Amino acid sequence: MTACPACLRRAWLLGLLAPNLELAWRGRRPLKDILALEDGALVAALAGRRRSAVEAAYEAFSARQARAACAAAAVTPVCRHDGRYPARLRTGPGAPAVLYVAGDPRRLSRLVGGDVDDGPPAAAVVGTRRASPEALQVATALGRGLAAAGVTVVSGMALGVDSAAHQGALDAGGPTLAVLACGPERAYPARKLALHRRLVAEQLVVSELPPGAPPWRWSFPARNRIIAALGRVTLVVEAAERSGSLITADFAADLGRDVAAVPGRAWSPRTRGSNALLGQGAAVVLDVEDALDAVLGLDRPDVPGVAAARLPDGLARVLDAVAAGAEVPAPGADGAQVGAALVALAELEGLGLVRRAPGGRYVATAPGWRPLASTPRPAGDGPRGPGGDHLGCCS
């Protein structure tokens, strides 16, 4: 099934009117209202002096050409009349007409298909582009922990928190999905080329803008409304007072989705936005378990932690030792033991579970932010209440 001409034309029209939209958005007209307009009204409202030219181009639109452009960019258009279009994205007239998908479109329903409460669980993880080292670690750990529990990590692939969350989810083997503010085949920001490539190959990158569309300033908040709609919960890791993440949180609240935030320092301007969310009643996220509680509910079945689920015994032991601050390799180790310990450290670093501190010593990334148990808990242990023993990882 391919996208229908009307929807393709709508998406194409957005691309055509992007510069006008930019002006309107700078003129502080609410984006939600603009995007909810019918095609004709949209042209009338935005096109201005270009109106007749736009209307002529609108009449001459060729769906075949649009499909060919998608095929050339290896992008699949999924329109709202398509069965694969996520039901949770049908949030009203302002919802995207077409979701352009880079990557295997069959993954779409597995990642974010169906209704937000009954479909695959997903959480939006968003935050500042200029993140502190702690925020990056927290975002990576959240991404890893959520993904390991089967929760799709939805984010925007921006620098900082967004990409750290994607990276964490990729470390755990997915699932994760990126929503871009430009054509989905473009790696934007360019610095995240490698991440984009991996996401396309293993997970999914989507956008409401057709291939080739550049990012506009208005398309970032527009992208944020999609992120908010796809996630059951929006988790804000670090946000200053005026931050795009707060826009995502606003959209989520408008849609009736939950908002949660990681608390930051009381007086720091870097976390004033996320702390303000907490003041307005957002759920407090102190660790991965809290995040899972927010997404899956308190009566969720116990999920094995990523480390217990995936780490071989030897690596888990080394990780425990590093997290406990012990010297690794052990100071009295013989040659073979030193070699084995060095191999383990490098493997853990490759998994993002440890990193090298400035002095060359290995430290665990965000200890306490891993739902790690040295021995997997037996299945069917019953529901866990809040305040569980997830910090037992270091004992």
Partner 1 sequence: MPAHVATYALVGIESRRVDVEVDLRAGLPSFTIVGLGDRAVREARERVRAAIVNSGFTFPAKRVTVNLAPAYLHKSGPAYDLPIACAILAAAGELPAERLARLAVYGELALGGEVRPSRGVLAVAEGVREQGLDGVVVAPERVREAALVDGVAAHGAATLRDVVTLLRGEAPAGAAVPPPEEIGPDPHAHAGLDLADVRGNAAVLEALTVAAAGGHNLLMTGPPGTGKTMLARRLPTILPPLGRAEALEVTRIHSITGLRGSGELAVERPFRAPHHSVSPSGLVGGGDVPRPGEVTLAHHGVLFLDELSEFQRASLESLRQPLEDGRIAIVRGQRTAIFPTRFQLVAATNPCPCGQAGTGSCRCTEADHARHRRRLSGPLLDRIDLHVSVDRPSAEQLAGPPLRSSAVERERVVAARERQARRLAGTGVPSNAHLDAALVRRHVRLDATAEGHLWRHYDRGALSARGQLRVLRLARTLADLAGADAVGAGHVLQALALRQDDGAAAVGA
Q: Which residues of this chain interact with partner 1, rule CB under 8 A?
A: 131, 133, 136-137, 140, 159-160, 163-164, 167, 194-195, 198, 325, 327, 329-335, 337-339, 341-343, 345-347, 349-352, 355-363, 365
Shortest distance (Å) from residue 141 CB to partner 1: 10
Closer to partner 1 at the Cβ: 67 or 355?
355
Shortest distance (Å) from residue 324 CB to partner 1: 11
Closer to partner 1 at the Cβ: 167 or 248?
167
Between CA 84 and CA 201 the distance in angstroms is 19
Shortest distance (Å) from residue 332 CB to partner 1: 6
Residue 59 has φ and ψ, to the nearest 5°, of -65, -35
Closer to partner 1 at the Cβ: 279 or 331?
331
Closer to partner 1 at the Cβ: 3 or 366?
366
Task: Taking the CA atoms of 57, 62, 66 and 69 in sequence, report the sign of the dihedral they define.
Answer: negative
Residues paired with residue 179 on neighbouring β-strands, in sequence order: 206
Closer to partner 1 at the Cβ: 29 or 355?
355
Residue given tokens 């293993």 in the structure block: 202
Between CA 348 and CA 350 the distance in angstroms is 5
> Under 8 Å CB-to-CB from 343, ≥6 apart: which residues?
none
Coil/strand/helix, residue 75: strand
Between CA 160 and CA 175 the distance in angstroms is 19
Closer to partner 1 at the Cβ: 50 or 129?
129
DSSP line for 229-244: HH-SEEEE----SS-H
> Under 8 Å CB-to-CB from 159, ≥6 apart: which residues?
129, 130, 189, 191, 192
Between CA 333 and CA 342 the distance in angstroms is 11
Residues paired with residue 236 on neighbouring β-strands, in sequence order: 126, 261
Closer to partner 1 at the Cβ: 48 or 350?
350
Closer to partner 1 at the Cβ: 154 or 294?
154
Closer to partner 1 at the Cβ: 25 or 369?
369
Shortest distance (Å) from residue 142 CB to partner 1: 13
Between CA 253 and CA 236 the distance in angstroms is 13
Shortest distance (Å) from residue 265 CB to partner 1: 13
Shortest distance (Å) from residue 124 CB to partner 1: 18
Closer to partner 1 at the Cβ: 183 or 352?
352
Between CA 67 and CA 16 the distance in angstroms is 16
Q: Are strands 98-102 and 75-79 parallel, antiparallel or unpaired?
A: antiparallel
Peptide linkage before 329 cis (omega within 30 of 0): yes
Shortest distance (Å) from residue 136 CB to partner 1: 4
Shortest distance (Å) from residue 366 CB to partner 1: 9
CA 107 to each of CA 48, 79, 125, 176: distance values in angstroms, whole numbers, following the listed order? 41, 15, 20, 10
What the block records as the tokens of 245 is: 């993440």
Shortest distance (Å) from residue 167 CB to partner 1: 7
Element (H, E) at 196: helix 193-202
Element (H, E) at 11: helix 5-16
Between CA 330 and CA 322 the distance in angstroms is 11
Shortest distance (Å) from residue 373 CB to partner 1: 23
